[in-house]
Amino acid sequence: MLKIGMTGRFASSDFVLGIALSLSQTLFSGGIIAAIFSRRKLFKVIYSVLAGIGCVGIILILWYFLMDGFKMNIRVMIPLERLPRNITEDPSLNGNYSYSFLTYGSGIDSRGDYGSKASIITSTIDLSSFITLSSFNRELFRYNESTLPLNGRIWYPTNTSNNTSRYPIVMMIHGNHVSTESSEIGYDYLCTMLASQGFVCVSIDENFLNGSPDYSLIGYGKISKIRQLDISFSSYPDMIARAIIILETLKQMRLWNTQTTNQFYNQLDLSNIGLAGHSRGGEAIVIAYVLNKLRFVPQYPTGVSLTNYNFGIKALFSIAGTDDGYMLLGRSLESYDVSMFGIHGVYDADLSSFLFQSKLTNLKFTPNSTNYNFKASLYVHQANHGQFNTNWGRYDLAPATDKFMNVRPVMSIEQQQHICKIYMSTFMNVILKGQIQHRILFEDYRSALPYLPYTNYISTFQDSNETIIADFENYDITVGTIVGSKIKVTNLSLWSSVYVNVYRSTMLILEPMKSLVGRYTIQLQNTLTGSILRFSVGRPEGGLVDNLEVQLFYDNESSGSFMVHVLPALSKQLFKRGSLEYVVAVQTIALPLLCPIIGLEFVVNGTSAQFLIDNIVIAN
């Protein structure tokens, strides 16, 4: 998602630097001319000095604009206690399938890949109920909202003679970028890998929904009637269009699967689908998952019928995804019973906060369901927004604005895409092919340390097999989430629930009284049985103590003690003239259980100790 416009902050900085550059140029050129024509030696010296000052000013200002930023002292911290087993092979390596490539499209597109060179011709769709295309994009693409194309790129396995089952499908959806660039091509590095591993990978073209260079905007279609009546209506007009194009593309693929003359005849497993999206595409996949189960769009049921969808979407992989671009009935979108993963860069200058955490928080699992699902996230310290797409590049903001960015700490595009490949491959193989032995990657990123670039990682994990002890969402802070549990507090000056915006979650904050050992104890009414105790823990910027002690009380009256190393808040400086900012590193920790437990206790000790804790659960 590229921000096309300039904020006031950068406009004012640009204005000041522009004035400084103009003054420097005036001093330089004026000083030289005056020195040449001046007859008095003293004035020649003065004018020469002024010209020199102007020259230095020009050099410094140009240096400021042209340099890529400042070297940051980034300290990489990897906890070494309770290391998980390692994944035995780099998941990003190509598999054993040979593969090929084709494009599909309307056949009349001005872009050859989707016009005369398209291998499969698709019909257009009418989304005039929801959007009106920008004037620039209507002219550029020669489409309007009533005849939008279904275009895309497909990488697919070719050794079908050895395959007795259909191939799972992975759909890639780009986000908002300047519409004159082909964003869908930027994920070929993912699609080629997935095709070699036995997936059909589709990268969808939605460039006609993207921002135009002349700033002309996509508008609301007939749904604008609802917007006028509903003051809670909050949606970017393009978001629902992005989602419906995903589902309409799947409908086309279902048709191909039944056509004996189509090369994909009986090759596609439409009950086994993964959706992956970047930026706005990372939110569009969640919208598509929700609409996939509905018969009508809630705000405008007379617009588009959704009765022909109901695909087997099982996996949602969001790359630097947005949030609340589309809200149903004035509320953040909620989803149920699907596996979901979000990856985000700490040095993302487009979305400076991990917004997709809200979608993870709003994903709920049905208790006692026979279908296993999980949700997980990865926050990568030196990753940005654009390098997940090969064509978007190193600078997350628009030209001119990007000259203020501090990109020197950002890792290389090869490293950033390697991380994405590792997690994409593992996620799709775990969910769509049942390779559950690799799920450990999402439970603990350290299982892939031999293959991951050297930087800081923050990972969270929850699954549908958990029993929640405390999630700190209650108004009554004297009881836990599980029925009958009680809270006991000793020597704590802070033990309240706080909302942590970057994780879109309410957490417990603990701080001991000065020179005393603080204790936060949860007493259970009944014993709980499981194989591990999981919780998430982090340190705010003011938390200066590394270690947190956790005591477990077993039903046989014995106890166990564990020391947990807690990462400090991670620093970032996104802009050259900016100050250091800090991101709370909330990491999921797993402790082994020797026996059923009857309680647990967090022991907080040390001056300036401060910890955030969330989602204490028992899991199997």
Question: What six digits make up the tokens of 347?
Answer: 């040095």
Q: Is the dihedral of CA 295, 296, 302, 304 positive or negative?
A: negative
The position carrying tokens 């564990």 is 562
Provide the residue type at 133 as one letter. L
CB 204, CB 151: distance < 8 Å: yes
CB 24, CB 54: distance < 8 Å: yes
Mean pLDDT of 539-552: 91
Residues with Cβ within 8 Å of 405's Cβ and at least 6 positions away in sequence, in order, are 69, 349, 395, 396, 397, 574, 575, 576
Distance (Å, whole) CA 118 – CA 157: 19
Higher-confidence position of 398 and 270: 270
Mean pLDDT of 283-304: 84
Q: What is the pLDDT of residue 56?
A: 83
Q: What is the pLDDT of residue 3?
A: 36
Distance (Å, whole) CA 514 – CA 133: 61
Mean pLDDT of 140-154: 94
Q: Is the pLDDT of residue 536 over 70?
A: yes
Q: Give the β-pairing of 120-121 and 99-105.
A: parallel
441 — phi, psi (to 5°)? -60, -40
CB 176, CB 141: distance < 8 Å: no
CB 471, CB 615: distance < 8 Å: yes
Give the H/E segment covering residue 66.
helix 41-66
Q: Is the pLDDT of residue 47 over 90?
A: no
Higher-confidence position of 214 and 414: 414
Give the confidence band of 18 by pLDDT, cuts at 50, 70, 90.
Answer: low
Higher-confidence position of 125 and 307: 125
Q: What is the pLDDT of residues 382-391, one digit of tens each?
A: 999 999 999 9
Tell me the pLDDT of the chain averaged across its residues. Answer: 88
The position carrying tokens 């860069």 is 345
CA angle 93, 250, 258 (to 5 degrees): 100
Half-sphere exposure of 152 (CA within 13 A, CB side): 27
Give the confidence band of 11 by pLDDT, cuts at 50, 70, 90.
Answer: very low
Q: What is the pLDDT of residue 226?
A: 62
Which percentage of the chain shows pLDDT scores above 90?
A: 60
- Helix or strand or coil: residue 592? strand
Q: What is the pLDDT of residue 5?
A: 36
Mean pLDDT of 30-57: 78
Give the confidence band of 225 by pLDDT, cuts at 50, 70, 90.
Answer: low
Q: What is the pLDDT of residue 161?
A: 59
Mean pLDDT of 416-422: 98
Distance (Å, whole) CA 324 – CA 357: 11
Distance (Å, whole) CA 327 – CA 344: 22
Q: What is the pLDDT of residue 26?
A: 80
CB-based burial label for 113 (10 Å; 0-12, 13-18, 19+): buried
CB 104, CB 122: distance < 8 Å: yes
Distance (Å, whole) CA 572 – CA 478: 36
The position carrying tokens 């600078």 is 395
Distance (Å, whole) CA 320 – CA 276: 11
Q: What is the pLDDT of residue 155?
A: 98
DSSP 253-288: HHHHHH-TTSTTTTTEEEEEEEEEEETHHHHHHHHH
Distance (Å, whole) CA 499 – CA 510: 14
CB 130, CB 223: distance < 8 Å: yes
The residues that bridge with 326 in the sheet, in sequence order, are 235
Q: C-alpha dihedral over 160, 161, 166, 171, to 10 degrees? A: -10
Q: Give the β-pairing of 167-173 and 268-278.
A: parallel
Where would I find the beta strands (DSSP E) of 40-134? 99-105, 120-121, 131-132
Q: Is the pLDDT of residue 173 over 50?
A: yes
CB 586, CB 566: distance < 8 Å: no
Where would I find the beta strands (DSSP E) of 160-208? 167-173, 200-205
Which percentage of the chain shows pLDDT scores above 70?
A: 92
Q: Is the pLDDT of residue 2 over 50?
A: no
Q: What is the pLDDT of residue 577?
A: 77
Question: What six digits make up the tokens of 455?
Answer: 């930087």
Give the gyration radius of the chain's Cα atoms. 28
pTM: 0.91
Higher-confidence position of 297 and 228: 297
The DSSP call for residue 568 is: P
Q: Is the pLDDT of residue 37 over 80?
A: no
Higher-confidence position of 454 and 620: 454
Q: Is the pLDDT of residue 579 over 90?
A: no
Q: What is the pLDDT of residues 465-509, one digit of tens each?
A: 999 999 998 888 888 889 999 999 999 999 999 988 878 889 999
What is 99-464's CATH superfamily? Alpha/Beta hydrolase fold, catalytic domain (3.40.50.1820)
Q: What is the pLDDT of residue 404?
A: 80
The position carrying tokens 């989430």 is 481
Residues with Cβ within 8 Å of 351's Cβ and at least 6 positions away in sequence, in order, are 1, 279, 320, 322, 344, 385
Lowest mean pLDDT among 75-89, 411-425, 584-598: 75-89
Q: What is the pLDDT of residues 423-456, one digit of tens each?
A: 999 999 999 999 988 999 999 999 999 999 999 9
Give the confidence band of 1 by pLDDT, cuts at 50, 70, 90.
Answer: very low
Distance (Å, whole) CA 165 – CA 434: 14
Task: Please name which of 525, 529, 604 lies closest in space to residue 564, comparing C-alpha atoms.
Answer: 604
Question: What six digits make up the tokens of 149?
Answer: 């194309």
CATH code for the structural domain at 467-619: 2.60.120.430
Lowest mean pLDDT among 73-77, 168-172, 363-367, 574-578: 574-578
Name the most confidently modeled range: 109-113, 237-241, 341-345, 572-576. Answer: 341-345
CB 420, CB 319: distance < 8 Å: yes
Distance (Å, whole) CA 278 – CA 239: 13
Q: What is the pLDDT of residue 516?
A: 93
Q: What is the pLDDT of residues 397-410, one digit of tens each?
A: 877 777 788 888 99
Distance (Å, whole) CA 96 – CA 94: 7
Mean pLDDT of 96-122: 94
CA–CA distances in Å: residue 542 to residues 207, 208, 452, 502, 587: 44, 46, 29, 16, 17
CA angle 216, 319, 572 (to 5 degrees): 90
